[in-house]
């Protein structure tokens, strides 16, 4: 399932915990596709805490607690990492990460916690959701086969990579527009992992964020840039990204486009992708300057000038993902939509 859909599932599961309809969710996927980040995003959006427990780093007693004697009985000291309504709040997310990397004895200790929402005398607070994530056995990670009794305590979802969803996230998180443009140009490189070759650096949604950081740190040191990009996304992808970034020097004047001046559309396809991504970034920043309608209107006029109208459609689609319904309030949007109606409806 694509990330945007999974976020909706996770949000509904979180809200359903208050109604008693919550089912623990297990996210499966290869490394670097954003499983943990989706959980953090849901918690941030709902302003609730997320307790991240890495089961692969725990012993069974870390979950059960430590016994101590009270008169003639033994009671258990509950681990402080488990959710507590007084300490952590009435609602939140208990996230059991790396669950498939946990030794069988540890995962067995989590059976009761996941299904019955309790562990001995400890009870998970009512409004807390339980989510888990892990790599599959073929992903070259440290994994154990999930026991059937544990698997039957979850609803299971496979996390897929989806470029449109990643682009929407990238714009909202100020990822360098050159990285976004490159992946629009080479979409198959969003995730390229072959477990049979067991690479140490490979393209993934997570490693493209690392590439963004490398660009910010080393763009003024060209002798280091290619090597640092290769260290993030692998040898081949790093070379391609470096060449793409170097070609952007030939881009037209973006500020002139935003002012409504007549600027030629580049003939090279890679530059067209770069211009489209950069103009979306300009539109996002225009929201903060008070010139949003004028800038977006001029960008829409420019989008209609691409030789391949699909390129303009991609630009405006990304613009909508980035700024939302504000796009429809710009007068030039209706003219643009009418001009490409046959593309949207029939092609």
Nearest to 210 by CA among 175, 240, 239: 175
Q: For 33-57, how does the pLDDT look when each residue is reduced to its tens digit (9 = 90+)?
A: 999 999 999 999 999 999 999 888 8
What does the alpha-carbon distance between residue 142 and residue 156 come to, in Å, rounded to a whole number? 20
Q: For 208-262, how does the pLDDT look when each residue is reduced to its tens digit (9 = 90+)?
A: 999 999 999 999 998 999 999 999 999 999 999 999 999 887 889 999 999 999 9
DSSP 269: H
What does the alpha-carbon distance between residue 340 and residue 337 come to, in Å, rounded to a whole number? 5
Q: Can you tell me which residue has the tokens 């709902």?
A: 46
Tell me the mean pLDDT in the region 326-346.
Answer: 80
Q: With 80 as the cut, is the pLDDT of residue 64 above it?
A: no
Contacts of residue 303, Cβ cutoff 8 Å, sequence gap at least 6: 276, 279, 312, 315, 316, 336
Q: Which residues pair with 118 in a beta bridge?
A: 123
* pLDDT-based confidence at residue 26 (cuts at 50, 70, 90): very high
Q: With 80 as the cut, is the pLDDT of residue 143 above it?
A: no
């Amino acid at each position: 399932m694509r990330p945007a859909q999974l976020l909706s599932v996770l949000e509904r599961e979180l809200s359903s915990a208050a109604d008693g309809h919550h089912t623990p969710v297990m996210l499966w996927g290869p490394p670097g596709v954003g499983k943990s980040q989706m959980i953090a995003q849901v918690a941030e959006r709902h302003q609730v805490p997320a307790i991240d427990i890495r089961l692969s780093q725990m012993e069974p007693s870390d979950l059960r607690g430590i016994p101590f004697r009270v008169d003639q009985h033994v009671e258990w000291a509950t681990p402080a990492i488990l959710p507590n309504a007084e300490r952590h709040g009435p609602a939140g997310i208990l996230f059991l990460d790396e669950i498939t990397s946990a030794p069988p004895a540890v995962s067995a200790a989590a059976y009761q916690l996941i299904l019955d929402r309790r562990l001995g005398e400890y009870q998970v607070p009512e409004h807390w959701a339980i989510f888990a994530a892990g790599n599959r056995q073929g992903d070259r990670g440290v994994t154990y086969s999930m026991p059937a009794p544990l698997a039957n305590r979850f609803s299971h979802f496979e996390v897929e990579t989806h470029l449109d969803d990643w682009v929407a996230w990238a714009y909202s998180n100020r990822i360098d527009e050159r990285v976004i443009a490159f992946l629009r140009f080479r979409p198959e490189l969003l995730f390229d992992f072959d477990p049979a070759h067991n690479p140490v650096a490979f393209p993934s949604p997570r490693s493209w964020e690392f590439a963004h950081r490398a660009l910010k740190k080393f763009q003024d040191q060209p002798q280091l840039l290619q090597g640092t990009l290769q260290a993030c996304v692998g040898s081949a992808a790093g070379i391609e990204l470096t060449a793409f970034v170097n070609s952007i020097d030939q881009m037209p004047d973006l500020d002139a486009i935003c002012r409504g001046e007549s600027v030629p559309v580049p003939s090279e396809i890679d530059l067209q992708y770069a211009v489209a991504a950069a103009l979306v970034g300009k539109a996002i920043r225009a929201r903060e300057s008070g010139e949003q309608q004028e800038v977006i209107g001029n960008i829409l006029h420019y989008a209609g000038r691409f030789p391949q109208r699909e390129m303009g459609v991609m630009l405006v689609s990304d613009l909508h993902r980035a700024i939302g319904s504000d796009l429809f309030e710009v007068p030039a949007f209706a003219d643009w939509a009418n001009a490409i109606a046959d593309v949207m409806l029939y092609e």
